Amino acid sequence: MHGILSGEEVAVARVDAESFELRGYGRKEAKGAKEEREGRLTLSLEEAAFLLEAGKIVIRKETEKESALTLEEFFRHALEIFPNFGARYIVYKDLKQRGYVVHPGGVDFWLYSRGTKPGEKPARHFIRILSEREFLSVKDLEDLLILAHNMRKELIIAVVDDESDITYYRVKEAKFNAIETRADKAGEMRGEGGEGTAFLLGDKVLLRDAAFAETLYKNHFYGTLTKEGRLLLSLVEAAYLIKRERLEMKFEQFIEYATAMEHDFMNKYAVYEDLMEKGLVVKTGFKFGSHFRVYKALNLKHSSDLIHVLPREHVFSMSELARAVRLAHGVKKRMIFAQTFKKSLIKNAVQTSQQTLEDQIKYVEIGRMKL
């Protein structure tokens, strides 16, 4: 088999094209093209490199048709076109050897089910390829998810590490399904209503009403109950209860206090409130390296999700992403990143509707996947 290298593609003459097409390689020129192009096959650099390494094709440059390129010379040319060609080729080769049909396009590659030829069925996934030294912003991740949604594809991020091993991550919008609704939505948290007496204790709030404290702790899973019957609440728990007029404090003043204590408090609080309003039980995720752990119901022993709150301007390193997802996978939980829009959240801190919160917060689930 012979191919001619020109820019970012390798052209295979019509006489050889049929055998390549049957194996799912390349893009065949349609009828009606120029006579010299009609019926020939155009290979991407990754496809051509795979065939060249396997000894199935001889490649020459368009301007130097007499001398065949070595694999090293071909790679050198490909790296001039795509600086990340090394990572792209490692992923392409891995997927081909696993029996998948891979086609360049979309962001980096289209991925088809095993045995499917491009054109017979649409691709199921598109793949974004990164090396372990690259970075991925929350904004770029959001754009990739929007693209996946618009194309009706599933997004996969492939990360190539320094040992040329590949970790595949499935990325999708996170959905939440609470098992039961929250009694406090209906105003049933404290019988006939009223507010509990509490005071500030550094980065905690101490509720002194013993009866109310026991109700909040045993029936609604708030805070930590002391031996003396008092309830220690976190700042986000206290803010949620104050906003619902369950604690005798001014919401605006408390927000100022909490924000001075914790610079990203409003981002965390907005996510906490949104999750609580969805009917979930939310507790600190500190022991798991995240902001929150989430339960679908009060009586469950194990949380289902880890939630980490990120501002929209956040940029992931691949090691940060790998560490969070690996830990969540190890404890059998979903790793979910909550993206917030900080300016809007602060502006609407006091009178934020649930619909507004949902518009300002996006939840992204990232998990390892086997291919």
Find the catalytic residue in 100, 168, 295, 363: 295
Let me know if 329 is a catalytic residue. no
Adjacent-strand bridge partners of 207: 198, 231
Give CA separation, 158 vs 208, 316, 321, 323, 328, in Å. Answer: 52, 14, 12, 15, 18
**Given 34, 263, 301, 302, which residue is catalytic?**
302
Question: Which residues, at least 6 apart from 45, have a Cβ–Cβ distance to it below 8 Å?
Answer: 8, 9, 10, 78, 81, 82, 85, 89
Contact between residue 7 and residue 16 where contact means Cβ atoms under 8 Å apart: no
Quick check: is 278 catalytic? no
What is the distance between the terminal CA atoms of the chain, rounded to a whole angstrom?
A: 31
Say which DSSP state 291 is in: S
**Which residue is catalytic, options 89, 333, 362, 363?**
333
The distance from CA 185 to its chain's CA centroid, rounded to whole angstroms, is: 31
H helices present in 154-313, as ranges? 210-220, 235-243, 251-261, 265-277
d(CA 335, CA 329) in angstroms, rounded, equals: 8
> Which amino acid appears at position 300 of this protein?
L
Give one DSSP letter per residue of 226-252, joined into a string.
Answer: -TTS-EEEEHHHHHHHHHTT-BSS-HH
Transcribe 10-51 into DSSP letters. EEE-HHHHHHHHHTT-SEEPPTTS-TTTTT-EEEEHHHHHHH
Respond yes or no: is residue 342 known to be catalytic. Answer: no
Q: Are 297 and 180 in contact (CB under 8 A)?
A: yes
Rounded Cα distance, 177 and 280, in Å? 8
What does 301-312 look like in DSSP terms, one character per residue?
SS--EEEEEEET
Q: Which residues are catalytic?
A: 295, 302, 333
